[in-house]
Chain A
Amino acid sequence: MQDSKMKEVQLERLQWSLRHAYENVPFYKKKFDEAGFHPDQFKSLDDMKRVPFLEKQNMRDNYPFGLFAVPLDKVARVHSSSGTTGNATVVGYTKNDIEVFAEVVARCLACYGATEKDIIQVAYGYGLFTGGLGLHYGSEKLGAMTVPISGGNTERQLMLIKDFGTTMIACTPSYALNIADYIDKKKPDYDMRATKLRAGIFGAEPWSEGMRKEIEARLGIDAYDIYGLSEVIGPGVSAECSEKSGLHVFEDHFYVEIINPETGEILPEGEAGEIVYTSLTKEACPVIRYRSRDITRLYHDNCKCGRTLVKMEKVTGRSDDMMIIRGVNVFPSQIETVLMEVEGVEPHYQIILDRKGALDDIEVMVEVNEKIFSDELKVLQNLSKQISDRFRSALGISAKVTLVEPMTVPRSEGKAVRVVDRRKI
């Protein structure tokens, strides 16, 4: 679709969405009124800067159904975040919203080259989390054979990959590495390359290019990113294509802007900042200028796959995951990148922040696997020095590197806990 045509569609849908939120959700009416903005004044996309932001906290404060724009009898399903850092955020979907959800996920799968001939094993958790059901309905919509195995039970995952001839698996990238570890430790005879598995659909947590390389090499598959957030719809907001360079945003359903996280000012295309979402078609839970805290960049690059949709860079940091260590801004993904540059180091690590006196103390725990282990002390000491040198040169921080035994860093079959902040500031 031509960009100008897309902008027309977006303008028309934005006008509907803003009015829908204003007229049906008291929270938005109050917020818009206070900002002196009325949906009638929305004449062009440039007017977006006048619309107030929606913060995560607003969603928590309106727990559970305060931001719903339709009566509950029109709501066909709810999903919810885990609420580990406060009240959970609950999102609702009308029948039509569920259709849209399935549609965008099906488009993601098509981006990875999936067709109705594929067999897709959905190893995201099924439940309140959007991952499992999101991928499930998208896969069905595409017409692929869908295997709703849910998360965990690696033994069974491997059995079904082999017996069913699964061609694609959807799970978190850390679970994909768990599977690779499991094969190494428990089933050395299991040859993933001899199965039909050819691609993985990975999302729900940020992951780096280094992690992609590791997953692809160890499982012998193509690893694709799927991005989304439950507040906006769930997975399916954007997807990588065959090029694996940036994710196409389905901008006919989600309007995206990049802002300066400090000032809230809209940044021109190409600049990095916080990505902000506005739903264009959602009925049950419209989100208007939702501040995702995800840091990325938007750009058009005449993608070789032929799609004209705007692209966003793979999200590798969140403005609220950002650590300020001795005045230096550091994202966990940068730490991961440094570690993955060291031959043999696995992305199983944990960062512990502490404050000793007035100084921040950063300790990086790295698991020693067979690839980096040596019977010679000096080899291991060199390794930890090498990692610590890289921290200094790449990130400008001196970190204490502690080598730990395997399985010391907590793993989860959902999201891995990477950072423990013990600083009391």
Chain B
Amino acid sequence: MNVKQLSIFLENKPGHLQSALKVLAEKNINIKTLTIAEVTDFGIVRMIVNSPDEAQRALKEQHFTCSTTEVLGLEIDDKPGELLRALETFAKNNLNIEYMYAFTEKRDDKAVMIFRFDDIEEAKKVLIAQGFNIVKNIEIIGE
């Protein structure tokens, strides 16, 4: 199964991120990595957590707007040029990256990047053909 990302809509105001994270903390949900995309008025917090469905339920109950999306978790060797090699694969196959971010912790010796594509299955296919390792949801959330 693909990596499941949790996205939350937040107004760009003091205290709003805090109150969303508080909901997660109270449910004992662990954040594996997190990134924020923002404009003047609002932002979207994207995160990988250990139980996204439970997180979504808890946030919804507290009137947060959120969703889950499948994203591609890609393992790459921690050495110069490796990310470039992945990007070249996408460009060659005309696959546009909607957004991407890095994982905070390493898996063994490797770095993990998260990519969001419109067509995730196509992206996986071309990466596997190039010998890349795709990370499964279960490996990330460790359950």
Contacts and interface: CB of A to CB of B under 8 A. Distances in A.
Nearest to B5: A375
Contacts of A375: 5, 7, 44, 46, 67, 69, 116
B90 interface: no
A217 interface: no
B41 A403 contact: yes
A3 interface: no
- Mostly helix, strand, loop or mixed at chain A's interface? loop
B66 A373 contact: yes
A203 B60 CA distance: 30
A388 to B, nearest CB: 13
A334 interface: no
B72 interface: no
Interface residues of A, number: 19
A407 B63 contact: yes
B69 A405 contact: no
B44 A405 contact: no
A270 interface: no
Contact of B63 (A373, A377, A406): A406
Interface stretch (B8-16, B78-86, B133-141): B8-16
Given A185-B63, A405-B16, A405-B65, A376 B42 contact: no
Contacts of A370: 65-67
B11 A405 contact: yes
Contacts of A374: 7, 67
A334 B11 CA distance: 26
A260 interface: no
B42 A380 contact: yes
A376 B116 CA distance: 9
Contact residues on B (Cβ < 8 Å of other chain), bracket: 20 to 34
Contacts of B65: 368-370, 373, 405-406
Contacts, number: 55
Interface in B74-107: 98-99
A403 B16 CA distance: 14
A404 B42 CA distance: 8
B39 interface: yes
Contacts of B64: 405-406
B67 A403 contact: no
A402 interface: yes
A381 interface: yes
B9 A381 contact: no
Contact of A403 (B42, B66, B99): B42
A147 B62 CA distance: 31
A186 B57 CA distance: 10
B37 A377 contact: yes
Contacts of B37: 377
Nearest to B61: A185
A369 B64 CA distance: 9
A100 B104 CA distance: 73
A216 B61 CA distance: 24
Nearest to B45: A375
Interface string A357-392: 000000000001110011111001100000000000
A405 B10 CA distance: 6
Contacts of A407: 63
A197 to B, nearest CB: 25
Interface of B: 5, 7, 9-11, 16, 37, 39, 41-42, 44, 46, 60-61, 63-67, 69, 98-99, 116
15 contacts: A368-B42, A368-B65, A373-B7, A373-B65, A373-B67, A375-B67, A375-B69, A375-B116, A376-B44, A376-B99, A377-B99, A402-B41, A403-B9, A405-B65, A406-B63
In the A-B complex, the 8 residue pairs with the closest CB atoms: A375-B7, A407-B63, A406-B63, A373-B65, A375-B69, A377-B37, A368-B9, A368-B65
Interface of A: 185-186, 368-370, 373-377, 380-381, 402-408
Given A376-B99, A377-B39, A405-B16, 15 more contacts: A369-B65, A373-B65, A375-B116, A376-B98, A377-B99, A380-B9, A380-B42, A381-B39, A402-B41, A404-B42, A405-B9, A405-B11, A405-B63, A405-B64, A407-B63
